[in-house]
Amino acid sequence: MTETSIQQTSIKKILPLILATAIFMQMLDSTILNTSLPAIAKDLKESPLNMQNAIISYVLTLAVFMPASGFLADRFGTKKVFIFSLILFSLGSLFCSLSQNLTHLVISRVVQGVGGSLMTPVGKLALIKTFDKNELLKAMNFAIIPALIGPVLGPLVGGYMVDYLSWHWIFLINIPIGFLGIILGLKFMPNYKSDDVDFDLKGFLIFAAASLLLSVSLELFGDMQNITPVLLVFIMGFLFLYYYYKHAKRGGNPIFPLNLFQVRTFRVGIVGNLATRLGISSVPLLLPLMIQVAYKQSAVTSGWIIAPMALTAIFGKSSVIKILDKYGYRQTLMVNTFIIGTLICLLAIPNIHTSLYWFVPIIAVLGFFNSIQFTSMNTISIADLRNFQTSSGNSLISVNQQLAIGFGIAFGLIVLKLFENTDLIKGEIHNAFRLTFLTVGILTILSGFVFRRLHISDGKNMKSKEE
């Protein structure tokens, strides 16, 4: 083997690990604060209700800067942008741990958010450009696992750190992981760039405004007193999306070209991701909330109940390639979505007197099928993109996933509040949760029909090489 081929082999071995590191940090950071806010509020002498700004500022920064990730990677190179994003994220984490008041914390979270908005999309773009289509499924399958275990481990790790160390450690934990990512990135991250790049500033500002307004409305949905202003912000977000559509239709070089949606597998992947995450994203929020509110258990107990989801997600990783090779994307995604929806419905069966352990096997099986779902949806979305479409397509997939998670969480909370205010629950909050799981589960089952638009042969070019 030549020195170049040995280096290429090393890059292919390490690159999925580098992306996994970035995804893990971002997903952990998106959720680890949830159980830690009261402790941080007490130390900073703030109301716990005001501390929501620390979460919102991070989410909004992601929404605003993610659309630019593809252009920046093409203009400056994937390696430079990725290393820069890791440095920013690590510095933001350090500043968060040193914050003396809420303003310092919010500013530090914005710095983190800028790093996070570039880190995962650019790392994923490098992966797409490095691997052939028939190798990409295996590589993406490894890298996607942190996206499954991060939201599950976040509240659990955050709870323990606050109880046994201090809240500062929930941010300091990122620094050694970030340092590892920087060292590996400097040595193994390829520096793909494009000489033919023209930044669509107007399109970026319009799309960023749409993402920002939709993200704000989704955050407000979870804690709404008056629905009218929230709906107005939500509608404005969609109006800006329509404005972007009109802008992109005029031609030029839009940040997200409309010809992306002429690729059927990309179109189905985007819509399917948005639809199925309505149910999938709400479970890690609703179940711990039910255990704490209805069953009166601690945050740590609720964290342990959903922890098996992370373990079985890893086992799902080893099965997904064989399943996709045997049944194809169309059948796998349809059946898998039906199974996930049914499992969510099963969470509605236990009553208030049922043992909490009843939930463990359901959650464990759910983690396994979630793993298959995410890997399948992520890879089919990019299966038929041309080389000139990968940067913009990958950025749009990242933005879509971020909004889809927000939609899922907001949707779960809205349904819960609607049932909470009806006579159906007869004063028992537990029944509101049961009806919410039933509703979300049924809608998840119905969302599986989105994947009927795929052809039986779709994704054949993603079929993995034999070991």
Report the pLDDT value the prediction gives residue 441, as an integer from 0 to 100.
93
Rounded to an integer, what distance in angstroms lies between the CA atom of residue 170 and that of residue 123?
23
Q: Return the structure tokens found at 27.
A: 């997903």
Report the pLDDT value the prediction gives residue 54, as an integer from 0 to 100.
75
Band (pLDDT 50/70/90 cuts) for residue 31 is low
| Inter-CA distances, 389 with 19, 74, 461, Å | 20, 11, 17
DSSP 427: T
Q: Return the structure tokens found at 182.
A: 């920087």
Q: Return the structure tokens found at 63.
A: 């929404």
Number of Cβ within 10 Å of residue 6's Cβ equals: 10
Mean pLDDT along residues 378-385: 82
Band (pLDDT 50/70/90 cuts) for residue 5 is low
Band (pLDDT 50/70/90 cuts) for residue 151 is low
Encode pLDDT of 156-210 as tens digits: 777 677 667 777 887 888 888 888 888 888 888 888 887 666 777 788 888 888 8
Mean pLDDT along residues 218-234: 71
Band (pLDDT 50/70/90 cuts) for residue 427 is low
Encode pLDDT of 273-316 as tens digits: 888 988 888 887 788 778 877 888 776 777 778 778 777 877 77
Report the pLDDT value the prediction gives residue 467, as an integer from 0 to 100.
37
Rounded to an integer, what distance in angstroms lies between the CA atom of residue 121 and that of residue 321?
23
Band (pLDDT 50/70/90 cuts) for residue 337 is very high
Separate counts of helices (H) and strands (E) for the chain = 19, 0
Rounded to an integer, what distance in angstroms lies between the CA atom of residue 191 and that of residue 76?
9
Number of Cβ within 10 Å of residue 415's Cβ equals: 22
**C-beta of residue 213 within 8 angstroms of C-beta of residue 234:** yes
| Inter-CA distances, 232 with 179, 208, 217, 402, Å | 43, 17, 8, 21
**C-beta of residue 449 within 8 angstroms of C-beta of residue 334:** yes
DSSP 465: P
Report the pLDDT value the prediction gives residue 208, as an integer from 0 to 100.
85
The residue assigned the tokens 């690159």 is: 15
The residue assigned the tokens 């310092």 is: 104
User: Is it the case that residue 445 has pLDDT exceeding 90?
Assistant: yes
| Report for 116-120, 407-411, 447-451: range of highest mean pLDDT | 447-451
The H or E element that residue 190 is part of is: none
Report the pLDDT value the prediction gives residue 50, as an integer from 0 to 100.
64
Q: Return the structure tokens found at 369.
A: 């099928």
**C-beta of residue 149 within 8 angstroms of C-beta of residue 22:** no
**Dihedral Cα 284, 234, 61, 310, nearest 10 deg:** 10
Nearest partner of 92 among 80, 119, 110, judged by Cα: 110
**C-beta of residue 421 within 8 angstroms of C-beta of residue 291:** no
Beta strands in 219-290 (DSSP E): none
Report the pLDDT value the prediction gives residue 465, as an integer from 0 to 100.
47
This prediction has a pTM of 0.80
Q: Give the distance, in angstroms, between the CA of residue 114 and the centroid of all CA atoms in the same chain.
A: 16
Q: Return the structure tokens found at 331.
A: 């059948």
Mean pLDDT along residues 226-249: 84
Mean pLDDT along residues 4-30: 74
The share of the chain scoring above pLDDT 90, in percent, equals 11
Rounded to an integer, what distance in angstroms lies between the CA atom of residue 281 and that of residue 12?
31
Band (pLDDT 50/70/90 cuts) for residue 342 is very high
Mean pLDDT along residues 141-160: 69
Backbone angles phi, psi at 59, to 5 degrees: -60, -45
Mean pLDDT along residues 130-142: 75
Report the pLDDT value the prediction gives residue 173, as an integer from 0 to 100.
82
**C-beta of residue 188 within 8 angstroms of C-beta of residue 11:** yes
Mean pLDDT along residues 66-91: 88
Band (pLDDT 50/70/90 cuts) for residue 466 is very low
Report the pLDDT value the prediction gives residue 324, as an integer from 0 to 100.
85
Mean pLDDT along residues 112-127: 87
User: Is it the case that residue 436 has pLDDT exceeding 80?
Assistant: yes
**Dihedral Cα 126, 132, 133, 137, nearest 10 deg:** -70
Nearest partner of 252 among 295, 298, 199, judged by Cα: 199
The residue assigned the tokens 């820069």 is: 84
User: Is it the case that residue 340 has pLDDT exceeding 90?
Assistant: yes
| Inter-CA distances, 254 with 36, 70, 147, 159, 190, Å | 41, 12, 29, 44, 26
